[in-house]
Amino acid sequence: MGLSPTERLTGGNWLGNDKLDYWTSHYRGCIVSLSDSLQNVRDTEVVRQAEEQCRAKGLLSGSPELALCVLQTANEHPEPTESQSAAAGQTPVSEKFAAAGSYYFASPRETARREQVACAALGLSPAEAEFKSCVQQLSATFYSIDHPID
């Protein structure tokens, strides 16, 4: 993205984003936004797998039994460990897709491209609704940081 962890913090109330601290930066906003998108994808996948397992038991669509089974199965699903989340020995995504130049001097078109690359680097396909949601959330987070409310 062309952001730096040493970026100056700015204070404000961020329009529509209650997950950002009062003192934040574009870098921190990027981390929060991408982390949320990744968690949403994981949550969706856990529920999808739980529903498959419950349907395999013969539970009917739209039934309270299926809904309760999915809820219970999804809630029992363990979070992936660090070793499961990242393959050892791979080049970090941030190095593979490093942005040329600072985010602050990038054109709007380049900024949009970087947002798309960041979401794709999470493993989201442009063919999936989660990809579009990730890009929109990242863009909204940056807009919010650039336009704090008093």
**pTM to 2 decimal places:** 0.67
Tell me: the pLDDT tens digits for 35-75?
Answer: 888 888 888 888 889 999 999 999 988 888 889 998 888 88
Angle of helix 108-121 relative to helix 129-146, nearest 10 degrees, comes to 130
Pairwise CA distance, residues 42 & 26, whole Å: 24
Pairwise CA distance, residues 113 & 75, whole Å: 36
Tell me: the pLDDT tens digits for 96-133?
Answer: 555 667 888 888 888 888 899 888 888 888 888 889 99
Question: Strand 10-11 vs strand 23-24: parallel, antiparallel, or unpaired?
Answer: antiparallel
Please count the CA atoms within 13 angstroms of the CA of 146 that sit on its side-chain side. Answer: 9
